[in-house]
Structure 1
């Protein structure tokens, strides 16, 4: 599946650089949304963080 999205229109090189950056950020967000990373050890990670906080 491909998706066509308009990020913006640039007249100057500086604007084009900004739009390229925004486009890459959009791609990263879409990849995370479409293919979220599974947190297989979520509960254990929470317990470890709580232990660390208590130790501090």
Structure 2
């Protein structure tokens, strides 16, 4: 599904939206990178909680 949504855009730039901090246009590459970073951060938090509950640590 992501490929279908991204098919109309170049990875370098999106036609809509600008960063509120730098006023630069959003890039699809940056959005995907941000989502992956956030996902891994929260996945790591869930891992810590699981370790506290069951006492087993990852490898």
State TM-score, norm by structure 2.
0.42
The TM-score with structure 1 as length reference comes to 0.44
In our comparison, the structure showing a higher alpha carbon Rg is 1
* Structure number with higher helix proportion: 1
